[in-house]
């Protein structure tokens, strides 16, 4: 968890790269979708853990990591990576979920400010 806190909420460099390469409207639409997609992933991980499906939880975390890292949500991506690769048991994974939930909200806030200012 310490690693996740070390990460800034947003990866400004990545966002700059996306801005240079994408139509502004398209980027806004993608960033706006990210929190809901992250919430879906959280729900999927929670459900998988409840069913004792470690592999299912890892796969959901992997998808979350992919979209978050590419869309510049650095801290979310780090937590997802942590769940996917560094947690060995359901209990260890479940322990990450509150932070994941919090970070989704914080990321949603930060992204909405980015989108508004566009």
Is the Cβ of residue 81 or residue 87 nearer to other proteins in the bound state? 81
Taking the complex as a whole, the smallest distance from the CB of residue 29 to other proteins amounts, in Å, to: 8
Instruction: Give least dist CB 63 to other proteins, A.
Output: 5
Distance separating alpha carbons of residues 75 and 96, to the nearest angstrom? 13
The least CB distance from residue 67 to other proteins, in Å, is 4
User: Minimal CA–CA distance to 9: which of 79, 100, 106?
Assistant: 106
End-to-end CA distance of the chain: 32
Cβ closest to other proteins, residue 13 vs residue 102: 13
Contact 73, 100 (CB under 8 A): no
* Contact set with other proteins (CB under 8 A): 12, 14-24, 26-30, 33-34, 37, 59, 62-63, 65-67, 69-72, 77, 114-115, 117-118
Rank residues 8 and 24 by Cβ distance to other proteins and give the closer one: 24
Nearest residue (CB) to other proteins, 32 versus 95:
32
From its phi and psi, is residue 7 left (phi > 0), alpha (psi between -120 and 50) or beta? beta
Return the CA Rg of the chain.
14
């Amino acid at each position: 968890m310490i690693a996740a806190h070390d990460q800034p909420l947003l990866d400004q460099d990545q966002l700059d790269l996306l801005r240079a390469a994408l139509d502004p409207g398209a980027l806004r639409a993608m960033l706006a979708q990210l929190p809901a997609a992250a919430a879906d992933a959280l729900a999927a991980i929670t459900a998988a853990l409840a069913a004792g499906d470690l592999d299912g939880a890892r796969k959901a975390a992997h998808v979350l990591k992919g979209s978050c890292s590419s869309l510049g949500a650095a801290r979310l991506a780090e937590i997802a990576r942590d769940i996917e690769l560094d947690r060995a048991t359901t209990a260890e994974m479940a322990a990450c979920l509150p932070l994941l939930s919090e970070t989704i909200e914080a990321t949603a806030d930060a992204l909405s400010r980015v989108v508004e200012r566009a």
